[in-house]
Amino acid sequence: MPEPVDAADAVEMRTALAGLRRTSGLPVVFGGLLADARHARIGELNGAQTSALRGLVISAGSGLGGKAIALARPCAVTDYPVSRHISHEYDTAVAAEGLRSVVAVPVVVRRSVRGVLYGALRTPVTLGDRTFDAAVAAARDVEQALAVRDEVRELLALTRDQVAGPGAAPGAWEDVREAHRELRALAPRVADPALRDELLAVCGRLASASGARTPAAAPQVRLAPREVDVVACVAAGATNAAAARQLGLRPETVKGYLRSAMRKLGAHTRLEAVVAARRAGLLP
């Protein structure tokens, strides 16, 4: 039997399902994430009238959802109980909920199926393109959220408890600075508050790892989070246009943040801004 999935990851599925039901008008939506390569557990339901589907373990290749997992593509049936295009291991649970027309969409991250999302009607009618597209879009939302979360976790694993000391080799410092920039860029895209707080805390540790401190007599420099993000991109050699792509902002917005940061740092050039930010302990 598969192990329980990460509770934080399940939030992404719950949010996407709520949005799908709201935008598509489907009366029942449900789904679950894979805990191993071949099994997903239905953990999120919206609009269900019974608990028959909750906790159901879907195996790759079995039923409609299992078919979607195995093929890594959306699948649909007009009348689930009598469909000849799927196996029927889960008919009892489906019948208890009274489902007839069903669509199942896999959640695919980095070419690996990570979950399956369903939308269903209690009448045997063909699902229209609008409904089908809404289900696919909801799955894409989960995919993007999980991809961001995966990237954050990987970066945190690389940086947590491995912050280089003041005497670290130049190459090690470049790794620290690149990790800091990537984490700062990802932070606004992380929906989970706990994970975002952890991410920003690690960013703070990375920024102060060089031992740089503002002299006690000097006024403390405070930059807005996005100003720090922009200066971090500049420190990595990014142009305004490249920084805009990395941060999901417009080039004009990046230019405005950079201008504001330079003013606060007392800098007249991009290089001076980076040096001043490092001296102030804002960048590693």
Question: Which carries the bigger pLDDT value, residue 188 or residue 249?
Answer: 249
pLDDT number for residue 265:
92
* pLDDT exceeds cutoff 80 at 222: yes
* pLDDT exceeds cutoff 80 at 160: no
pLDDT digits (tens, 9 = 90+) for 243-266: 898 888 999 999 999 999 999 999
pLDDT number for residue 218:
47
* pLDDT exceeds cutoff 90 at 197: no
Q: Count CB atoms within 10 A of the CB of residue 220.
A: 8
DSSP track, 220-252: PP---HHHHHHHHHHHTT--HHHHHHHHT--HH
* pLDDT exceeds cutoff 90 at 168: no
Residue 146 identity: L
- Highest mean pLDDT (candidates 165-169, 190-194, 227-231): 227-231
The Cα–Cα gap between 282 and 275 comes to 10
DSSP track, the chain: -PPPPPHHHHHHHHHHHHHHHHHH--SEEEEEEBSSSSEEE--EEES-SSSSSTTPEEETTSHHHHHHHHHTS-EEESSGGG-SSS--TTHHHHHHHT--EEEEEEEEETTEEEEEEEEEESS--PPPHHHHHHHHHHHHHHHHHHHHHHHHHHHHHHHTT----TT--HHHHHHHHHHHHHHHHHGGG---HHHHHHHHHHHHHHHHTT-----TTSPPP---HHHHHHHHHHHTT--HHHHHHHHT--HHHHHHHHHHHHHHHT-SSHHHHHHHHHHTTS--
Q: What is the pTM of this model?
A: 0.67
Mean pLDDT of 104-119: 95
Indicate the pLDDT class of residue 164, thresholds 50, 70 and 90: very low
* pLDDT exceeds cutoff 70 at 240: yes
Question: Which carries the bigger pLDDT value, residue 149 or residue 101?
Answer: 101
* pLDDT exceeds cutoff 80 at 136: yes
Question: Which carries the bigger pLDDT value, residue 221 or residue 16?
Answer: 16
Phi-psi region of 214 (alpha: psi -120 to 50; beta: other; left: phi over 0): beta
The Cα–Cα gap between 142 and 149 comes to 10
pLDDT number for residue 173:
64
pLDDT digits (tens, 9 = 90+) for 39-64: 999 999 999 999 999 999 999 999 99
pLDDT number for residue 49:
95
The Cα–Cα gap between 263 and 284 comes to 20
* pLDDT exceeds cutoff 60 at 103: yes
